[in-house]
Amino acid sequence: MARYRSKAWRSYDPESSGSVEAPTTLVLQNCRILGIDPGSRRLGYGIIDVRGPDCRCVTHGRIEVDGLPMAARLARIHEGVRALVLEHSPGEVAIEKVFVNRNIDSALKLGQARGAALSALGEFEIAEYAPRAIKLATVGSGGADKLQVAHMMRTLLNVEGRLTPDAADALAVALCHAQQRKLASLIAGHQGVAG
């Protein structure tokens, strides 16, 4: 996330900006968003419906691939993601970016799993978000743990029943994207009024 050295934004006074007015209502297109939390052992997915300012969980879960040879894992991830797209018809897709830690082998496997998921989504423009950005947008803290993410997904999306950490993370990816859409719409609406 960008940090700004200038403090000029703190002195912004909307009353002194002439006749420009901020939009009073935010109009968003309704949309179904597929969020993906990639993994080489299991891939979490979460699908939400965005209706105006409201978001609702449609489904969530995970695609289990642990114990299979790597090529079979990748094939199953591809097939599973493709089946989700065909069954639920999302309009947009968001995926978590790969976090590279000290273990290069794990990062490579995660990248392969992520690539298998992406290969099933060829017709979509994919939105990508860093793990810290997702947590910041959905929990309010970039350092939130998995329990905090799951709690917020239950609260914000009224999720009932069992919610695995992978599915909670995927719902957070989808919700982060929904919030980015709202922000982009607000900015576009404001620029339209100003222009």
Active-site hit among 79, 123, 160, 166? 166
Virtual torsion, Cα 161, 162, 166, 170, nearest 10 deg: 0
96 is catalytic: yes
Angle between helix axes 70-88 and 104-119 (nearest 10 degrees) is 40
128 is catalytic: no
Active-site hit among 37, 49, 92, 169? 37
Three-state SS at 156? helix
Structure tokens at 91: 């309009």
Backbone angles phi, psi at 139, to 5 degrees: -110, -30
d(C-alpha 102, C-alpha 133), whole Å: 21
Mark residue 119 as left, alpha or beta (left: phi above 0; alpha: psi -120 to 50; beta: remaining). alpha
Active-site hit among 49, 92, 96, 169? 96
Residues recognised as catalytic: 37, 96, 166
